[in-house]
A and B are shown apart, each in its own frame.
Chain A
Amino acid sequence: MALDASLLSPRRLAARLTEGIDAPLFTIALALSLLGLATLFSATMENPARLTAQVANLGVALIAMWMVSRIPPQTLMRFAVPAYLAGVALLVAVALYGDRVNNAQRWLHVGVTRFQPSEVMKLALPLALAWYFHHRETAPRLRDFAFAGLLFIVPVLLIARQPDLGTAVLVAAVGFYVIFFAGVGWKLLTALGVLGAASLFPLWGMLHEYQRKRILTLIDPTQDPLGAGYHTIQSTIAVGSGGLTGKGWLHGTQTHLEFIPEGHTDFIFAVFSEEFGLAGNVLLLVLYALLIGRGLMIAANAATVFARLLAAAITLMFFTYAFVNMGMVAGILPVVGVPLPFISYGGTALLTLFVGIGILMSVHRHRRLVQT
């Protein structure tokens, strides 16, 4: 191998290092992240340490993306089952030994740091499901979907009972996407939809008091203006008062008078909307649409069943993040703890997102050589 030569020539070295990086995906994700940093700067003026921390998080996430993009899907497939089993084991460990924060048991101590195992499941579940469908000899039958459903319901229930409704919704969605793309019949899908709607009633009884309150206040936020409705009322005012072009960067009154709770995490879209207006929101929607479009394109051209299911599911996970978060801030979806992808403050979420981007890049790099 011409290892020496490649090391000697900086240009070739650069080419080698970036060969797995998909330029469109990278550009869009980076643009979103930079918009995020600008918004975060405004949201955390009082505490600049958050911004530096997020820059560091971004650095780590980019390195992770680069590393994952170099792993071929075949190799990723080998991680599918162990990652899934480890993820479930960790969720059980959290249920048994986890730390309680805000009355929810989500965190697990590992040495000096702690993390949320539910975050691992966001990628481990689609990996496992894609692996499962990849290994079916025939076209998947009802039995296969039933088994896939089992693989999917266990972690979702474990996360929902922590309780962490936001993450449970995301994990459930991403699992559902794999099953959908694996070709579950429309009839079955419709039946499941009806069944799901019917199960809402018993499910209502299982919800925690605060979760019910959130859904009720969505219907009428003014019911509880200082409690559960406060978030929604204040974030809607922030969005609406932003107008067409916004109040300008660093000039959001809702933000800077501290009316927006969690302005740097789940409600950062309210800050963005207030300061950049509808124009900014359109830019954001276009960026997300481009990202999703590129992801779906990669999925459509993937080489194997595993790769295409994984790529499509991850792409739609980005969509779910964005839609649920923006919908929540705009007051059309209940308040669940889902961050705005690439924008919200938080290291773990950013890492998951960029690892997802890395997987898409890897799938793209190993796409089908023969076009049909």
Chain B
Amino acid sequence: MRTATEIKDHERELYYFQLRVGFAGFAVLAAFALLFARLFHLQVVQHEAYASKAEENRISIVPIAPNRGLILDRNGVVLARNYSAYTLEIFPAKVKDLERTIAELGEVVDVQAKDRSRFKKLLAETRNAESLPIRTRLSDEEVARFAANRYRFPGVEIKARLFRQYPHGAVASHVVGYIGRINPRDKVNLEKLGVEANYRGTDFIGKSGLEASYQKELHGTTGFEQVEIDAGGRGIRTLARTSAQAGNNVTLTLDIRLQEVAEAAFGERRGALVAIEPSTGGVLAFVSKPGFDPNLFVDGIDAQSWKELNDSPDRPLNNRAIAGIYPPGSTFKPFMAMAALELGKRNFNSGIRDPGYFEFGGRRFHDSKRGGHGYVNLYDSIVKSSDTFYYILANDLGIDAIAGYLKNFGFGARSGIDLEGEAKGVLPSPEWKKERFSKPEQQKWYAGETISIGIGQGYNAYTPMQLALATATLAAEGHMYRPRLVAHVDNLRTGERRHIEPVLASRVALKPENVEFVKRAMAGVNKEGTGARAFAGALYTSGGKTGTAQVVGLKQGEKYDEKKVAERHRDHSLYVVFAPLESPKIALMVIVENGGFGARAAAPIARTVLDYYLLGKLPEPAAKPAPGKGKPAAEEEEEESD
């Protein structure tokens, strides 16, 4: 019904519509006729000309990958370099039976199972027609043997390629990082950055460490070559060439010899060390133990090595220095003292009587020294590391004041170092707790939780980098320079050198007399306190603080007994130090995981590093007394009050 009336009403309109449809039909035919005319012109009239052009069309554009920039330490020692080697590569598209070809190649050169699995993995990942390596780093003999058998393997070629090499192996592996083949995810990232054209011809990209964070500098600019090719697509001669520009060299503030001394001092123990120049923020040493051999990653790590690294309980791939978070233990105390002085809650003469515990809300918080230290003033509280003093101080300050003040020293914030994957750590506060937990009863802050914050336990958790930075900031009287590993970047072609200038990240307003006092107390630690044994006979002045961080919580009244605790549950050993006392040249932080008391494991490592850095003195090999043997009882006691 409705249709009928509509047609009647709009008959005229429909007529016009159909007229226009007819017009459109003619327009389409006219356009197609035009297209046909053009195609006829190209394909019939000018066919001869274009056919010969296609015949002569032999100019192919081949990208030239730039050489990757080097990574050097502050003295110019090479940490990452390139070397040229022959690889055997297969063009999958030009090979009919891949399995058979690979099997036959195995008769000519050594092809192992891991080479095969890597090839298969690459084949699955690649989209475009590329040649993929079946064997890398061929020996001269293998090259010669393949050349003689080349006729048997169409679609297989030998190519000279640059490989990355890390001459120092596992030393500074977490700093330098490694490169690896560009995978589909990297490709998406490059596309997002709009730089994929500059990566034509490049197979590798920085995956971790400085290799990743300075990828842009290290990569360089891809060049292009116009190559005349024959009908089969093989290059005959080069017609024109735009050279590739090598990537920039990156020079670090880090001293690789210092790094070696520091890593050697750890031995087989796990842990981290960060040494910073307080006046610039330049990182002098950056240890995360155990490390790994970055050379394994360069042309695709084999499954077994990967499994070993990934499954190891020591977690060698974890960058402890910036991604590991630990309770600071007593190394927190100088900063608590600083807060107390600056906020006017304590003065130089404030003292308490330490009975060996602090009672709060019906609970006893014990001092690590049974029976307490007797009368303790602010100076003693750092030198002897009195827990009771800081339980009371934390309670007096309150959590808001503690969190509010200590964030000035960078606690609970990323330091901004030029590496990826930095953890934020935890500077506990009621706001943090509200965000961290979802259940209302867990979100509430209890006054009792503030007490152990004072001695660097409880929710406190910081990266070694944060503790090193806080120590450097204290050493530099409140000047906090953003930590960085790179000193300058050099463009070899233009000779241009770009210095990475120190960045004053913040300036903490500290009263000079207060800084002076805390520094003096820290000097006391190394002269007469918990660090005295490790720093006996040092030829320079220094200020330090030992720390011991509990890994597992103790029940109330339970006494920690190292011998009864499983190795992985033993306390972490920490130590922070700066030296010399007057104008500090170095501030550092050491943690030895499950190392026990701070004075025993961490402080001697710091001493070794400082001796080398300040005096150029190399550690004496071996002759290290086994811990806990033949020590006077009094000293043992002294250590335990850490």
Asked whether, in the complex, the Cβ of A372 is within 8 Å of the Cβ of B43, the reply is: no
Contact B14 A372 (CB under 8 A): yes
Q: Which of B49-57, B355-363, B603-611 contacts A (4 or more CB under 8 A)?
A: B49-57
Q: B283 to chain A: closest CB distance in Å? A: 34
Partner of A240, one of B3, B43, B233: B43
Nearest CB in chain B: distance from A15 CB, A = 25
B235–chain A nearest beta-carbon distance, Å: 12
CA distance A183 to B342 in the complex (A): 83
Task: Say yes or no: A100 contacts B35, CB within 8 Å.
Answer: no
A46 to B32: give the CA distance in the assembly, Å.
33
Contacts of B46 in A (CB 8 A): 240
Bound together, the chains give a CA A86 to CA B540 distance in angstroms of 73
Distance A237 CA – B57 CA, assembled complex (angstroms): 9
Please tell me if A258 contacts chain B, counting CB pairs below 8 Å: yes
Contact A370 B43 (CB under 8 A): no
In the complex, A54 Cα to B226 Cα: how many Å?
33
Is A47's beta carbon under 8 Å from chain B? yes
Q: A244 and B35: CB pair below 8 A?
A: no
Set of chain A residues within 8 Å of B44, measured between Cβ atoms: 243-244, 278
B61, CB-defined interface residue at 8 Å: yes
Per the bound structure, the CA–CA distance linking A295 and B32 in Å amounts to 16
User: Please, which residues of chain A bring their CB within 8 A of the CB of B13?
Assistant: 139, 183, 305
List residues 53-74 of chain B with CB under 8 A from any CB of chain A.
53-55, 57, 60-61
**A243 with B32: CB separation less than 8 A:** no
Select B128's contact among A47, A99, A319, beta carbons within 8 Å: A47
Q: Which residues of B contact A253 (CB under 8 A)?
A: 54-55, 57, 231
**Contact assessment for A296 and B21 in the assembled complex, using a CB-CB cutoff below 8 Å:** yes
B16 / chain A contacts, CB cutoff of 8 Å: 183
A244 contacts across to B, CB distance below 8 A: 43-44, 47
In the bound complex, CA of A326 to CA of B28 (Å): 14
Give the contacting residue for A281; candidates B6, B43, B55; CB below 8 A: B43
B21→A312 contact, CB < 8 A: yes
Could you tell me which residues of chain A, from 217 to 241, have a CB within 8 Å of some CB in chain B? 226, 234, 236-241
Q: Mark A244-280, 1 if CB is under 8 A from B, else 0.
A: 1000000001101111000000000000010001100
Closest residue on chain B to residue A256 by CB atoms: B233
**Could you give, for residues 312-333 of chain A, a 1 whenever the CB lies within 8 Å of some chain B CB and a 0 otherwise?**
1000100100010011001110
> With a CB–CB cut-off of 8 A, which chain B residues contact A183?
13, 16-17, 20
Q: Is B120 positioned at the interface, with any CB of A under 8 Å from its CB?
A: no
A371 to B576 alpha-carbon distance, docked (Å): 95
Segment among A122-130, A159-167, A286-294, A349-357 that sits at the interface with chain B: A286-294
Instruction: Tell me the bound Cα distance from A85 to B86 in angstroms.
Output: 59
8 Å CB interface, B415-454 against A: none
Given A101-B191, A241-B51, A372-B14: A257 touches B42 (CB 8 Å cut-off): no
**Distance in angstroms between the alpha carbons of A305 and B47 in the assembled complex:** 48
Inter-chain CA distance A253–B191, complex, in Å, is 30
B24→A296 contact, CB < 8 A: yes
Q: Which of B7, B35, B39 contacts A372 (CB 8 A)?
A: B7
* Interface residue B512 (Cβ < 8 Å from any Cβ of A): no
The answer for the CA separation of A238 and B42 in the assembled complex, in Å, is 10
Whether B25 sits at the interface, judged by CB under 8 Å, is yes
Is B129 an interface residue, CB under 8 A from the partner? Answer: yes
- Tell whether, in the assembled complex, residue B47 and residue A304 are in contact, meaning their CB atoms are under 8 Å apart: no
Asked if B61 and A288 make an inter-chain contact with CB atoms under 8 angstroms apart, the answer reads no
Measured CA separation A296–B21 after assembly (Å): 6
The answer to whether A239 and B42 have CB atoms under 8 Å apart is: yes
Which A residues between 130 and 179 are near B, CB-CB below 8 angstroms? 139, 177
Cβ-based interface call for B100 (8 A): no
Which residues of chain B are near A305, meaning CB under 8 Å?
10, 13
A323 touching B194 in the complex, CB below 8 Å, given contacts A253-B231, A370-B3: no
CA distance A237 to B42 in the complex (A): 9
**Are B93 and A46 in contact, with the CB atoms below 8 A?**
yes
Residues in B110-137 with C-beta less than 8 Å from chain A: 127-129
B47 and A46 contacting across the interface, CB-CB below 8 Å? no
Contact of A282 with B by CB under 8 A: yes
Contact at B11–A372, with CB atoms within 8 Å? yes
B500 located at the interface, meaning its Cβ lies under 8 Å from any Cβ of chain A in the complex: no
Nearest to B25 among chain A residues (CB) is A296
Q: Cβ of A303 < 8 Å from any Cβ of B?
A: yes
Give the residue of B3, B36, B61 whose beta carbon is less than 8 angstroms from that of A368: B3
Question: Is B565 in contact with chain A by the CB < 8 A criterion?
Answer: no
**Pairwise interchain contact B20-A100, C-beta atoms closer than 8 A:** no
Which residues of chain B are near A17, meaning CB under 8 Å? none
Partner of A323, one of B14, B35, B226: B35
* A278 CB contact (under 8 Å) in B18, B43, B50, B231: B43
CB-nearest residue of chain A relative to B129? A46
Q: A259-B57, A299-B21, A372-B11 are in contact. Are A285 and B36 (CB under 8 A)?
A: yes
User: Is A237's CB under 8 angstroms from B43's CB?
Assistant: no
**B200 interface hit (Cβ, 8 Å):** no
A257 touches B233 (CB 8 A): yes
Q: For the complex, is B306 an interface residue (Cβ under 8 Å from A)? A: no
- Of the candidates A238, A241, A308, A327, the one whose C-beta lies within 8 Å of that of B47 is A241
* Interchain nearest-CB distance for B30 vs A (Å): 11
Residues of A within 8 A of B129 (CB): 46-47, 258
- A300 in the interface (beta carbon within 8 A): yes
Known: A240-B46, A243-B43, A258-B233. 20 other contacts (CB 8 A): A181-B17, A183-B13, A183-B16, A240-B51, A240-B53, A243-B47, A244-B43, A253-B231, A282-B36, A289-B29, A296-B24, A303-B3, A304-B3, A304-B6, A312-B21, A326-B35, A330-B35, A330-B42, A368-B3, A372-B14
> Residues of A at under 8 Å CB distance from B?
45-47, 49, 99-103, 139, 177, 180-181, 183, 226, 234, 236-244, 253-254, 256-259, 273, 277-278, 281-282, 285, 288-289, 292-293, 296, 299-300, 303-305, 308, 312, 316, 319, 323, 326-327, 330-332, 368-370, 372
22 contacts between A and B (CB under 8 A): A99-B192, A226-B226, A237-B53, A239-B43, A240-B47, A241-B47, A242-B43, A253-B231, A254-B57, A257-B57, A273-B39, A273-B43, A277-B43, A281-B39, A282-B36, A288-B32, A289-B28, A305-B10, A323-B32, A327-B35, A327-B38, A370-B3
